[in-house]
Amino acid sequence: NAGVTQTPKFQVLKTGQSMTLQCAQDMNHEYMSWYRQDPGMGLRLIHYSVGAGITDQGEVPNGYNVSRSTTEDFPLRLLSAAPSQTSVYFCASSKQQNQPQHFGDGTRLSIL
């Protein structure tokens, strides 16, 4: 039982490049979410999904896309990376959105 797995753990991109951050959970959780964590800012919600085929925007969705084709996977896509997107990204899942979340260990992303 791996919990929430995020890949890659570290990534450096150049401005304008695109990439996908992967997130997978093996707990059959319906609710999944993506956060970014910046110094002094706390965790901010980017996008979330209440089940396969359903996604919605969080607090800071601009510049990011998500899809949820399966219960297990919830990838986050950066369309055209910008230095302002340098951050640590966390994926989380829970049985339902009003229940405690399980977090992955994050992807540390630097945009040059």
Partner 1 sequence: SQKIEQNSEALNIQEGKTATLTCNYTNYSPAYLQWYRQDPGRGPVFLLLIRENEKEKRKERLKVTFDTTLKQSLFHITASQPADSATYLCAPAASGGSYIPTFGRGTSLIVHP
Residues engaged in binding partner 1 (CB under 8 A): 4, 33, 35, 40-45, 48, 58, 90, 92, 97-98, 100-106
Closest to 68 in 3D by CA, of 83, 59, 84, 56: 56
State the minimum distance, in angstroms, from the CB of residue 62 to partner 1.
18
Q: Any idea what the Cα angle at residue 22 is, between residues 20 and 25, rounded to 5°? A: 160
State the minimum distance, in angstroms, from the CB of residue 24 to partner 1.
14
- Report the alpha-carbon distance of residue 93 to residue 30 in Å, rounded: 8
Indicate the residue among 15 and 97 with the shorter CB distance to partner 1. 97
- Report the alpha-carbon distance of residue 24 to residue 58 in Å, rounded: 19
State the minimum distance, in angstroms, from the CB of residue 15 to partner 1.
26
Query: What single-letter amino acid sits at 46?
Result: I
Indicate the residue among 12 and 41 with the shorter CB distance to partner 1. 41
